[in-house]
């Protein structure tokens, strides 16, 4: 029978079958905390969920490997034995084993433990053999063993050590370790020690055996002495062949040939399991558009890198940073991610081990490029200029101002700025605040534009452009910069002035009226250039108004008064011809027998032109006397009934042709004369005897009133004399 030799890794292992076709191991717990009678025995890097129990009652917290039948340890054959197999790895602390036991390991030694728990069968002896070199195994019977233990010097040529679990009547009572020459090192005790067995001239690793309870056995292997590199034939290197053989006898009957060895090899580590994965980043902090690399090292439990193992890569947030199969990392936006490398515990296994590293993706700094167009060094009040700026990030730049200016228009990265002061400088500020994922805020860029006063000019209206007469008035308005009043001053042949508007009066009939317009400026505007307007003055025209006119007819010898004024208020000179006159205004004229001409004159002065003469002519008139009313109306008081028709009769001497009559009436007491409409002029009729009569139909509204009545006749070329008395009527 050919036994396949298997390797043992210096790490935690899980036992699995090893036969002609190689099978691999699953890993044991990376860490094991053994608990026992006096407390923890040892710990590795990470404690398991349940601490291993060394009390012998169970294998709680150990890695369960399976039953020996399933693992091919006992299999079919005459033994009828069945065991559950467990393993773990720990770092020995020197305490924690069951009371009264000792395995003799030094503190801090890394220990591989294999446990066997009988679940079927009753053989008295369980025997474990370990080969740490390239020798082949043979059945114990082939080297003279009759009870399952080796004997004879030939054992040294076929194996290294035997650890025997012995039981009486199915109950364990002895654990013995045999050296490579078949000599039992110790036995019949609960603890045996093969600390320094020999292999030629080289030391072997410590092997300990411990019976912990009925049906429970534990083997300890000190794997601290198994170095990464070694000089053959020192044991324990990676890839070395370490074979664990469990054999039994059947009730003390020696195994014949290979019967006891059928499917009885347990592989401890042909493929070294991965215990940890170390992740190293080329840089732990990169900008959002940066790259770096990740390296993953799969390691066995004691930290040695397994260079033949590969890892797969993942990122906790690929939107922040992604990683490809080769470990190349590309950042996409600011944030933090965990880069994870995953390795199979052994190739092809579904069990995996992971390692992580933290990566910070940072925002990038950005700068604001020189503004184009840039703000000018100086700008006048009210003037505008355009600015624009970009950032190296490509993000839009905000443009704000302070001081003597304002933004009147603009969009992302551009603005039109207007100066609002002629004194205060304008500060333009360019900012880019950054964003959430990519860029930090840019350093603010500033520029200063000095303010300058704006020029202004005066615009005027209302001043005449032709010679203007004395006494004329006109209004001049003037404007300059907004809200600034223009002062208006006059001199020469005029008066008046004001701010913004002024009424000017020509004060002379000659010379020049000079207007001076000024605006002195302010914080925003320079003083305007003075505007001078000259207006030529001239004499004013005037006219004569007759205030007391001469009558058209006057009786010879009669007098009348005439008077007149000039629009200039200068005195009017009145002269007569064909009649006599006295006085200088008013003037009394005595009518002669011929026509009388009155002439009105005003010759003017330095301010007024001469007025046009005004003349009037009075013709001699015929005197006609008006008689009083006669019967039935008397010149005294008459009594009448309202509504009564009263015949009014009078006589004209001489009796002119074309005469017209106007009747006037008034209240008897404190009345004023007015035309009496009820005495119609057309009702006056010339009677055969040469008198005039008007049948006055009195209105009923006169009842209870006293009314005086007179008649005023008129005719061309006649002068009528009115009697001293008038007639009165008392109506009832």
Return the CATH number at 677: 2.20.130.20
pLDDT for residue 230: 22
Contacts of 134 (CB under 8 A, 6+ apart): 5, 241
pLDDT for residue 447: 97
Distance, in Å, from the CA atom of 468 to the CA atom of 508, rounded to the nearest integer, reads 10
* Residue 529: inside a domain: no
Do 214 and 79 reside in the same domain of the chain?
Answer: yes
pLDDT for residue 68: 59
Do 591 and 708 reside in the same domain of the chain?
Answer: no
Characterize the bridge pairing of strands 352-362 and 285-287. parallel
Contacts of 496 (CB under 8 A, 6+ apart): 488, 490, 502, 503, 504, 505
Using alpha carbons only, what angle is made at residue 27 by residues 24 and 29, rounded to the nearest 5 degrees?
A: 165
Do 629 and 718 reside in the same domain of the chain?
Answer: yes
pLDDT for residue 275: 80
For the full predicted model, state whether its pTM sits above 0.75: no
* Residue 582: inside a domain: yes
pLDDT for residue 126: 47
Distance, in Å, from the CA atom of 154 to the CA atom of 562, rounded to the nearest integer, reads 184
Do 60 and 147 reside in the same domain of the chain?
Answer: yes
Quick one: CA torsion of 177, 181, 185, 191, rounded to 10 degrees? Answer: -10
pLDDT for residue 132: 38
pLDDT for residue 82: 65
Low-confidence ranges of the chain (pLDDT < 70): 1-58, 60-61, 65-83, 87-114, 118, 120-273, 301-302, 677, 724-725
Q: With beta carbons less than 8 A apart as the criterion, state whether 400 and 447 touch.
A: no
Contacts of 259 (CB under 8 A, 6+ apart): 77, 78, 139
Give tens-digit pLDDT for 30-82.
222 222 222 223 333 223 334 455 555 567 667 776 665 555 443 333 345 56
| Single residue among 248, 267, 286 that ends a domain in this structure | 267
Do 422 and 484 reside in the same domain of the chain?
Answer: no
Distance, in Å, from the CA atom of 424 to the CA atom of 382, rounded to the nearest integer, reads 12
Domain encompassing residue 497: 459-524
Q: With beta carbons less than 8 A apart as the criterion, state whether 258 and 332 touch.
A: no
Do 297 and 235 reside in the same domain of the chain?
Answer: no
pLDDT for residue 212: 52
End-to-end CA distance of the chain: 179
* Residue 298: inside a domain: yes
Distance, in Å, from the CA atom of 129 to the CA atom of 183, rounded to the nearest integer, reads 14
Do 112 and 45 reside in the same domain of the chain?
Answer: yes
Do 111 and 183 reside in the same domain of the chain?
Answer: yes
Do 557 and 585 reside in the same domain of the chain?
Answer: yes
pLDDT for residue 464: 96
* Residue 534: inside a domain: no
pLDDT for residue 296: 96
Strand blocks (E) in 30-104: 35-36, 39-40, 63-67, 82-91
Distance, in Å, from the CA atom of 589 to the CA atom of 91, rounded to the nearest integer, reads 160
Q: What is the CA radius of gyration of the chain?
A: 73
Q: With beta carbons less than 8 A apart as the criterion, state whether 463 and 476 touch.
A: yes
Nearest Cα neighbor of 157 from 172, 176, 144, 171 is 144
Q: With beta carbons less than 8 A apart as the criterion, state whether 666 and 705 touch.
A: no
Characterize the bridge pairing of strands 494-495 and 501-506. antiparallel
């Amino acid at each position: 029978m050919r036994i396949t030799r298997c390797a043992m890794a210096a790490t935690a292992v899980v036992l699995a079958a090893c036969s002609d076709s190689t099978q691999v191991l699953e890993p044991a717990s990376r860490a094991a905390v053994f608990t026992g009678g006096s407390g923890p025995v040892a710990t590795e890097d990470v404690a398991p969920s349940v601490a291993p129990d060394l009390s012998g009652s169970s294998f709680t917290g150990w890695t369960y490997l399976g039953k020996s039948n399933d693992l091919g340890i006992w299999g079919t054959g005459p033994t009828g034995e069945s065991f559950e197999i467990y393993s773990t790895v720990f770092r020995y602390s020197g305490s924690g084993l069951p009371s009264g036991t000792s395995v003799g390991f030094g503190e801090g030694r890394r220990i591989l433990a294999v446990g066997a728990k009988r679940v079927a069968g009753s053989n008295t002896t369980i025997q474990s053999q370990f080969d740490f070199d390239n020798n082949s195994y043979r059945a114990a019977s082939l080297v003279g063993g009759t009870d399952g233990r080796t004997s004879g010097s030939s054992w040294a040529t076929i194996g290294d050590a035997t650890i025997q679990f012995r039981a009486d009547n199915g109950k364990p009572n002895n654990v013995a370790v045999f050296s490579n020459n078949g000599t039992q090192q110790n036995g019949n005790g609960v603890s045996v020690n093969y600390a320094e067995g020999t292999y030629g001239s080289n030391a072997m690793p410590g092997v300990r055996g411990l019976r912990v309870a009925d049906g429970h056995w534990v083997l300890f292997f000190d794997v601290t002495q198994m170095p990464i590199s070694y000089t053959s034939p020192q044991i324990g290197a990676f890839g070395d062949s370490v074979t664990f053989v469990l054999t039994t006898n059947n009730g003390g009957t020696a195994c014949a040939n290979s019967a006891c060895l059928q499917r009885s090899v347990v592989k401890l580590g042909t493929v070294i399991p991965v215990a940890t994965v170390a992740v190293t980043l080329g840089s732990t902090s990169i900008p959002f558009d940066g790259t770096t690399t990740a390296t993953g090292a799969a390691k066995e439990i004691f930290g040695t890198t397994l260079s033949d193992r590969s890892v797969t890569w993942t990122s906790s947030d690929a939107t922040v940073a992604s990683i490809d199969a080769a470990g190349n990392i590309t950042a996409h936006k600011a944030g933090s991610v965990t880069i994870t490398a995953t390795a199979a515990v052994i190739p092809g296994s579904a069990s995996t081990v992971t390692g992580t590293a933290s990566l910070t993706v940072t925002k990038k700094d950005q700068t604001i490029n020189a503004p184009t167009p840039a703000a000018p060094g100086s700008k006048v009040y009210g003037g505008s200029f355009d600015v624009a700026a970009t950032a190296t990030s490509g993000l839009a730049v905000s443009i704000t101002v302070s001081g003597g200016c304002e933004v009147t228009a603009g969009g992302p990265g551009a603005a039109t700025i207007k100066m609002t002061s002629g004194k205060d400088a304008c500060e333009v500020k360019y900012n880019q605040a950054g964003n959430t994922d990519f860029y930090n805020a840019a350093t603010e860029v500033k520029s200063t534009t000095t303010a300058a006063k704006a020029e202004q000019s005066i615009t005027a209206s209302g001043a005449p452009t032709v010679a203007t007469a004395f006494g004329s008035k006109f209004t001049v308005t003037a404007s300059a910069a907004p809200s600034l009043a223009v002062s208006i001053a006059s001199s020469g042949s005029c008066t008046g002035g004001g701010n913004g508007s002024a009424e000017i009066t020509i004060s002379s009939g000659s010379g020049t009226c000079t207007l001076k317009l000024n605006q002195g400026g302010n914080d925003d505007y320079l003083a305007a250039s003075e505007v001078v307007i000259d207006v030529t003055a001239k004499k004013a025209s005037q006219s004569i108004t007759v205030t007391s006119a001469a009558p058209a007819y006057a009786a010879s010898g009669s007098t009348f008064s005439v008077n007149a004024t000039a629009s200039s208020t200068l005195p009017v000179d009145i002269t007569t011809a064909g009649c006599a006159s006295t006085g200088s205004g008013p003037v009394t004229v005595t009518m002669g027998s011929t026509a009388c001409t009155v002439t009105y004159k005003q010759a003017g002065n330095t301010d007024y032109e001469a007025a046009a003469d005004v003349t009037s002519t009075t013709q001699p008139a015929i005197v006609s006397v008006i008689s009083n009313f006669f019967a039935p109306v008397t010149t005294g008081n008459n009594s009448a009934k309202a509504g009564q028709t009263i015949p009014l009769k009078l006589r004209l001497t001489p009796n002119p042709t074309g005469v017209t009559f106007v009747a006037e009436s008034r209240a008897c007491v404190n009345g004023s004369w007015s035309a009496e409409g009820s005495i119609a002029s057309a009702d006056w009729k010339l009677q055969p005897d040469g008198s005039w009569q008007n049948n006055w139909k009195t209105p009923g509204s006169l009842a209870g009133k006293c009314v005086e009545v007179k008649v005023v006749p008129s005719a061309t070329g006649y002068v009528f004399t009115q009697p001293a008395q008038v007639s009165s009527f008392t109506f009832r």
